[in-house]
Amino acid sequence: MSVFKKFFNSIIKDRDNEDDTIKVKGKPKPKYYGTVTPYPNFNASSDASVLQSAIASKGVDEDVIIAVMVQRNNEQRQKIKVVYEASTGKVRDLIYIKQTTKPLNCCHFWCLLQQRLGTDEDVLVEVLATRSNAEIRELKRIFKEEYKTDLEDVIRSETNGDFTSALLAMLKANKDESNEVNMDLARKDAETLFEAGENTSRINVSTFIDILTTRNGKQLSKTFQHYASISDVKLPKVLDMKLSGDIEDCLLDIVKCAWNTPAFFAEKLHRAMEGHGTCDSTLIRVLVSRSEVDLKKIVEEYRAMYDRSLQEHILTTGN
Ligand SMILES: [Ca+2]
């Protein structure tokens, strides 16, 4: 996983704010504000052979791959891919190159691909509850590009009821990302949730969806604390008592993420390994998508929750 860290570090390090003109074949080119400028004196064949020997070397020389890839823009990388594939015939190696260039998009893409094939609904909830607004917008764009249909339309046709409403609300990518806590709002939301959930004969799910899909995690944690002071029942218990099926699982996942995201992922990994047959796709998705975010915390939570190390558990499940 360190390969991603190295990649991003290299990109940041290579930024030159003072002089953003570059020279191509001796001529200055206009200013460019992306993170990667086209590499002058670019030669796809020589890059492809450098990558070929880096990948063939014992243990794969990540440093060389990263050094080459961070200095080529997307168009140049595409050309390298074409030459590489033609000269080696190895398509599989290209996955490695792709991963070093677009780790986030790759991961999103796989998640969505699985969902489209009709597997776990909880993958979609996990992705939508834990990614940023910008990432969710990007995910919708990739989905549309790949399947020529809006993700929202697929959700509408393949899910139903309150669960559909919750997913569509998350797809609006309207989450507060400020990390600020407003105490008055936490108190008000706690009361609103109490009225909509407990103090009524029929739970008003849309109120829960509204609040749970728009506030930031810290804000929600405060709301849950306030809730505990006005009710004898904790909020997750209320959801359990009043709801069932996908919508219950969905809202509970959002609550867990808000309260402690690393613990949410630790539980997910544990379930993936304890189930019938290790769920490799869950392992890979979680480890790759969190490697740049909070994997260290997930490892700590895992040890605290299950009294064993995540690494050891992964190794003993045998994949
Ligand atoms: Ca229930």
pLDDT in tens, 233-250: 999 999 999 999 999 999
| Residue 86 domain boundaries | 2-101
The pLDDT of residue 117: 46
Cα-to-centroid distance, 251 and ligand 1 (Å): 11
**CATH, residue 74:** 1.10.220.10
Cα-to-centroid distance, 226 and ligand 1 (Å): 22
Position 287 pLDDT exceeds 50: yes
**Calculated CA dihedral for residues 110, 115, 121, 123, nearest 10 degrees:** 0
Cα-to-centroid distance, 241 and ligand 1 (Å): 5
143 part of a folded domain: no
The pLDDT of residue 224: 96
Cα-to-centroid distance, 7 and ligand 1 (Å): 44
* Residues whose beta carbons lie less than 5 angstroms from ion ligand 1: 240, 244, 248
Strand, helix or coil for residue 239: helix
Mean pLDDT of 121-130: 86
Measure the CA–CA gap between 65 and 297, rounded to whole angstroms. Answer: 28
Number of domains the chain contains = 1
30 part of a folded domain: yes
Cα-to-centroid distance, 253 and ligand 1 (Å): 13
230 part of a folded domain: no
Query: Lowest-confidence range among 43-47, 104-108, 137-141, 215-219?
Result: 104-108
69 part of a folded domain: yes
Q: Which of 10, 9, 76, 11 is nearest to 40 (CA)?
A: 76
Cα-to-centroid distance, 132 and ligand 1 (Å): 29
The proportion of the chain whose per-residue pLDDT surpasses 70, expressed as a percent, equals: 71
Cα-to-centroid distance, 8 and ligand 1 (Å): 43
The 10s digit of each residue's pLDDT in 28-82 is 544 343 445 678 888 888 888 887 777 776 656 666 766 676 677 667 777 887 8
Cα-to-centroid distance, 216 and ligand 1 (Å): 25
Position 22 pLDDT exceeds 60: no
CB 291 within 8 A of CB 6: no
The pLDDT of residue 199: 92
Rg (CA), the chain: 23
The 10s digit of each residue's pLDDT in 67-77 is 676 677 667 77
Q: What is the pTM of this model?
A: 0.67
121 part of a folded domain: no
Cα-to-centroid distance, 267 and ligand 1 (Å): 19
Measure the CA–CA gap between 237 and 255, rounded to whole angstroms. Answer: 11
312 part of a folded domain: no
Mean of all residue pLDDT scores within the chain? 78
Cα-to-centroid distance, 289 and ligand 1 (Å): 30
Measure the CA–CA gap between 186 and 220, rounded to whole angstroms. Answer: 7
CB 294 within 8 A of CB 7: no
Mean pLDDT of 155-167: 91
Q: Which of 279, 291, 230, 304 is nearest to 123 (CA)?
A: 279
How far is CA 56 from each of CA 50, 65, 80, 119, rounded to the nearest angstrom?
10, 11, 16, 36
Confidence of residue 123 (pLDDT cuts 50, 70, 90): confident
* H/E segment holding residue 24: strand 22-24
148 part of a folded domain: no
Cα-to-centroid distance, 248 and ligand 1 (Å): 6
Cα-to-centroid distance, 239 and ligand 1 (Å): 7
Confidence of residue 13 (pLDDT cuts 50, 70, 90): very low
Measure the CA–CA gap between 133 and 127, rounded to whole angstroms. Answer: 11
250 part of a folded domain: no
